[in-house]
Amino acid sequence: MSEQQGTVARPTPDPLTPVLSDTWDADRSWTLASYVDRGGYAGLRAALAQDPADVVATVKASGLRGRGGAGFPTGMKWGFLPAPDGGPRYLVVNADESEPGTCKDIPLMLASPQALVEGVAITSYAIGCDHAFIYVRGEVLHVYRRLLRAVEEAYEAGFLGKDVQGSGFDLDVTVHAGAGAYICGEETALLDSLEGRRGQPRLKPPFPAVAGLYARPTVVNNVESIASVPSIVARGADWFTSMGTERSAGFGLFSLSGHVTRPGQYEAPLGTTLRELLDLAGGMRGGKALKFWTPGGSSTPLFTDAHLDTPLDYESVAAAGSMLGTRALQLFDETTCVVRAVSRWTDFYAHESCGKCTPCREGTYWMKQVLARIEAGQGTESDLDLLLDTCDNILGRAFCALGDGATSPVTSSIELFRDEYEAHITEHRCPFDPAAAALFDYTPRPARVLTAGVH
Amino acid sequence: MTIDAGPATNGAPAGGPRPGYDAETTARLAADAAQIVARYPESRSALLPMLHLVQSEDGYVSRDGILFCAEQLGLTAAEVSAVATFYTQYKRHPNGTYTVGVCTNTLCAIMGGDAIFDELSDHLGVGHDETTEDGAITLERVECNAACDYAPVMMVNWEFFDNQTPGSATDVVDRLRAGEAVAPTRGAASVCSFKQMSRILAGFPDGRADEGVGAGEPTLAGLRLAREQGWTAPGTDQASTSADQASASAGGADAGGEGAPEKPVTGGEQSSAERKPTTGADVDPGGKAESPGTQPDPSKGADA
C-alpha cells in the first residue's frame, strides 16, 4: 500500500479510522450541541481565520478526491472556478444518494448533519459563495427533517446567515428535497432539477464550474466530500495524507451489505482490502463462500473472491478492471443467482434512464427484456451475444455515465459467470433456490409469467 | 395567465366549471408558495417543492395543483406537467394514506425483498402502484433507498423500516390500516400521513427532527469495533491527551496525584499528608460527594 511507494516512512494507521463516524454514537448526535461538544466547528473557526485561497490550498494539498464515485480531486474542482466577476457563485451539495448499494451519505446526514453543514460553510467561504444548496433525495423523510433542523440550529448559533462568527462572511443555505429520480445524482441533471426542470443531464462542456446553477459558476460536491473538509482544515493536509495511499489519500466510509455477518459502515483508510474489512465484519454469513461483489455500487464491474486482496483505492481497483466508486461493497454468497442479480439491476437502469439519449433509453429497455427471459429459462443461445452487442452500443455512446454504468454488471457478469448464464438457457430454468439467498425461510411463489420479450 | 386546455388529470368532466382551487385554498397555498419561492434566487426552482405542496393538499398532483403551480410561477400547465411526470414521488392518482414501498432492487430483493413484496401484494390484494379499497395503503416496489446494510428494507411514507420479514411487513400494514401509530426503525416516533409527509418535503418542518435514533446498529458497526479495539484516526490520541492534560491542570493539585508518573507514598515527599488540611475531604475522604478536581482553590476564596 502506501509503504511500497517508498516516499516517507510513516506509521501505519489503525485498521479503522473513525473521523466522520466518530460522533455517531453520541447522545442526540444530530444536534448542534452534541456536535460542538465533540469539537465541531473547529474547522470553520480555523478557516475563517485564513484567507479563502489558503483553505482551497489546504484541501488541494490534502489530495481529497470526490467521494461521490468519480474521485475527481475536490480542491482542483474548486480551483476551476473562474475569477470572481461580481456575480453569484454557488455550492451545491449532491445528497441524492441512490446508486444501488450506496448507503453512506444518508446515515451520515441522519446521525451527523452538522458535519455537512460545517463543511458547507467552510467550502462556501473558500470559493466565495454566499448561497449554498443541499439537494437531498426526497425519499428519506427523516434525513430531510434533520437537515432542515441542522441548518436552522446553525443559523441560530451564527454559523450561517449574516456575518458568520463576526467574520463579515454571509452565507445562506437552502435544503432542497428531490422527488425520486436516480439520474439527479448526475451533477448536471441535479442542477436542472434544482432549477425546477426534468432532471436530465446537460452537455459538458461547459462544466458546472463555468456555467452551473442558473448558468453561474458552481461547485457540485458529494456529501461525504464536503463533510470531510472540516477535519482537513482543522487538522491539516499532512494529517489527512497520513492515511490512505499516495494518490488515494485519507479515509472513507466503506459500506458493507449483503451476505456478511455484520453489515454496516466501516470508516477506514483508502487502500484497505475486502479481506481486511470482511474480517472486521465477521466474515460471510454462515461461513458460506463469497461469489461476487461490487466495489463501488452496481455501476462498477463485479469482482469475485479473486479480488479479496485488491487494495480499495482508486488506482488499484481501476487496475483490476473496476472502479472504487462509492465504496458500496455489496457482497453476494454462493447461494445467489448472478443472472437474477444483474437482471434486477438492469430493471433499475431501464426504470431510471431519463430518456434523453437513444443508446441508454433503448439499450436498457432491451437488455431488461433479454435478461428477464434468460432468468425465466426462456433465453436463446444468441442472447448473450445480443446482450454484449447492446452493451457495446451503449458504452461510450450514452450522453452520461448512467448508460455506461448500466453495462458494467452485464458485461462483467457474462465474463465471470458465462457458464451460469448458459445453464439458464440450456436447462430452461434458474438453477438456484431464491429462498436460500434470503435472510429468512419462505416458500418461493411460482415464477411470474413473462408477457413481453419472450420468443 | 390563462389556462383553459391541458389534460384533465383528475377525471373532471370537460365543460364544467373552470378548474382550480377555491379562493380560500388558493390564498392559503399562495402564501406557502411565496415562502418557497423566497428560498431561491430564481422562482422556477420552487417548482419541485411546490409539487410536494400540492400533494400535501390533494394527496396527488391534481389538475388543480398543476394549474396552481403554473399560475404562481408563470409557467404553462404543460411545462409543469412535464416536470411532474418525470419524478416517481409525484403521484398521478390519489394516493393512499400510506405509501408502503418495498425495496426490490438487487440486494434487498435477494435478501428477501421479493418475498416481502409478494407477501404484501397477496395480503393487501393490490399490486405495484395500486391502492387498497379503503384508501389506506398504496403498495410500491421502490428502488435502492440507501439503507443496504439494513436489508431487506421497507419504506412507509419514506420512513425506514429496516431488516424486514414478510411477517413484520404484514404486521406493519395491518396496524396502519387499523389506524394505530406505527414507529419506523429509524425515523420519527410514528409515521405521518402521505399529505403530512408531502408538506414536510415542501420545506415546512413538523418539529419532529429530534425524535428517533441517530443511528441503527449497522451504521455504528465499524465505530463500535474501533471503540472496542481502541482504534482511532491518527492524531486523535494526541487530541484526547491534550484534553486530558487540560482537565488535569484545571483540576490543580489532584489530591494524591493519581495518574502522575510516580505515585507518592503516603507521608513521603509531595504526599498530601505533608500539607495542612484545607477541605473536608482532606480529613474525611469519601465523606462528602465532592468530586476531585472541582474543589475550590482556597487561595481564591471558598465561595463554591
Q: For A286-321, give the DSSP string.
A: GGPPEEEEESSSTTS--B-GGGTTS--SHHHHHHTT
| CATH at residue B150 | 3.40.30.10
Q: Do B87 and B104 fall within a single domain?
A: no
**Euclidean distance between CA atoms A90 and A84, whole angstroms:** 12
Residue of B nearest to A253 (CA): B222
Domain ranges of chain A: 13-241, 251-333, 338-437
Cα of B51 to nearest chain A Cα, Å: 9
Q: Which of B152, B183, B214 is the last residue of a domain?
A: B214
Closest C-alpha among A75, A63, A79, A119 to residue A313: A63
pLDDT (average), residues B75-101: 98
How far apart, in whole angstroms, are the C-alpha atoms of residue B206 and residue B183?
16
In the block, cell 437531498 appears at: A136
- What ipTM was predicted for this assembly? 0.95
In the predicted structure, residue B39 carries a pLDDT above the cut 70: yes
Interface test with A, best of B54, B162, B182, B219 (most A CBs within 10 A): B219
CB contact under 8 A, B110 and A437: yes
Residues of chain B with Cβ-Cβ distance to A177 below 8 Å are 48-49, 52, 201-203
Give chain A's count of helices (H) and strands (E): 17, 8
From the list A110, A262, A351, the residue facing B143 with the nearest CB is: A351
Question: Does pLDDT of B252 surpass 50?
Answer: no
CB-based contacts of B239, cutoff 8 Å, min separation 6: A39
- Asked which of B92, B116, B132 is the last residue of a domain, the reply is B92
Looking at the predicted structure, is the pLDDT value of residue B254 above 70?
no
Residues 6+ apart with CB under 8 A from B10: B62, B63, B64
**How close A86 comes to chain B (CA, Å)?**
16
CA distance B132 to B139: 8
Which one is predicted more confidently, A115 or B284? A115
Residue closest to B218 by CA, chosen among B184, B172, B186, B171: B186
Tell me the average pLDDT across B259-271: 39
Contacts across the A-B interface (CB distance below 8 Å): 307
- Residues B67, B24 share a domain: yes
The answer to whether B183 faces chain A, any CB pair under 8 Å, is: no
Across the interface, whether the CB atoms of B214 and A101 are under 8 A apart is answered no
Chain B hits for A98, CB-CB cut-off 8 Å, are: 143-146
At A195 the pLDDT is 98
Instruction: Say if B45 falls within a structural domain.
Output: yes
Beta bridge pairs of residue A257: A330
Q: State the total domains in chain B.
A: 2
At the topology level, CATH places domain A338-437 in de novo design (two linked rop proteins) (1.20.1440)
> In this structure, is residue B264 part of a structural domain?
no
Please indicate, yes or no, whether residues B48 and B142 belong to a single structural domain of this protein.
no
Instruction: Round the CA-based radius of gyration of chain B to a whole number and report it.
Output: 31
Same domain, B87 and B102: no
Distance of alpha carbon A326 from alpha carbon A349, whole angstroms: 17
Task: Tell me: do B52 and B103 sit in the same domain.
Answer: no
In angstroms, how far is CA B285 from the centroid of its own chain? 49
Q: B39 and B188 in contact (C-beta within 8 Å)?
A: no
Q: Is B144 near chain A, with CB under 8 Å?
A: yes
Q: Judge if B208 and B192 occupy the same domain.
A: yes
**Using the beta-carbon criterion (under 8 Å), do B203 and A195 form an inter-chain contact?**
no
Q: Which among A21, A101, A181 has the least Cβ separation from residue B223?
A: A21
Chain B residues with CB-CB distance to A197 below 8 A:
44, 47, 83
pLDDT, average across residues B86-101: 98
- Give the pLDDT of residue A444: 87
Both B136 and B109 in one domain: the answer is yes
Check: CB of residue A108 under 8 Å from CB of residue A224.
yes
- The answer to whether residue B80 is domain-embedded is yes
- For position A9, what pLDDT does the model report? 54
Determine the pLDDT at residue A446.
76
Q: How far away is chain B from the Cα of A137, in angstroms, using its nearest Cα?
A: 9
- Residues B189, B112, single domain; the answer is yes
Q: For residue B243, name the pLDDT band (cuts at 50, 70, 90).
A: very low
Q: What is the DSSP letter of A171?
A: B
Q: Are residues B23 and B117 both part of a single domain?
A: no
Whether residue B26 contacts residue B20, with contact meaning beta carbons closer than 8 Å, is answered with yes
The per-residue pLDDT of chain B, averaged, comes to 82
Binding-face residues of B in 74-93 toward A, CB within 8 A: 82-83, 86-90
B280 pLDDT exceeds 80? no
Q: Across the interface, do A21 and B150 touch by the CB < 8 Å criterion?
A: no
Beta partners for A172?
A131
Cβ <8 Å between B214 and A14: no
Q: How many residues are given for chain B? A: 304
Grid cell digits, residue A226: 464536503
d(CA A379, CA A339): 12
Q: Which domain holds residue B60?
A: 1-92
Co-location of B135 and B203 in the same domain: yes
- Test the B interface: residue of A35, A97, A139, A335 with most B CBs within 10 Å: A139
B41 touches chain A (CB under 8 A): yes
Whole-number Cα distances in Å, A323 to A94, A219, A364, B57, B146: 20, 23, 21, 44, 19
- Which CATH number applies to A13-241: 1.10.10.60, 3.40.50.300, 3.40.1710.10, 3.40.50.11540? 3.40.50.11540
Cβ <8 Å between B105 and A145: no
pLDDT of residue B251: 36
Contact across the interface for A102 and B144, Cβ inside 8 Å: yes
Last residue of a domain, one of B153, B179, B214: B214
pLDDT of residue B16: 57
Using a CB-CB cut-off of 8 Å, the residues of chain A touching B40 are 174
How far is A170 from A156, CA to CA, in rounded Å? Answer: 14
Q: pLDDT under 70 in chain A at which residues?
A: 1-10, 447-455
CATH number for position B57: 1.10.10.1590
pLDDT value for A425: 98
Q: How far is the C-alpha of B9 from the C-alpha of B81, rounded, in Å? A: 10
How does pLDDT run across A228-241, given as a tens digit for each residue? 999 999 999 999 99
| CA dist., res. A110 & res. B187, Å (int) | 9
The whole-angstrom separation of Cα A130 and Cα A135 is 16
Q: CATH second-level architecture of A251-333?
A: Roll (3.10)
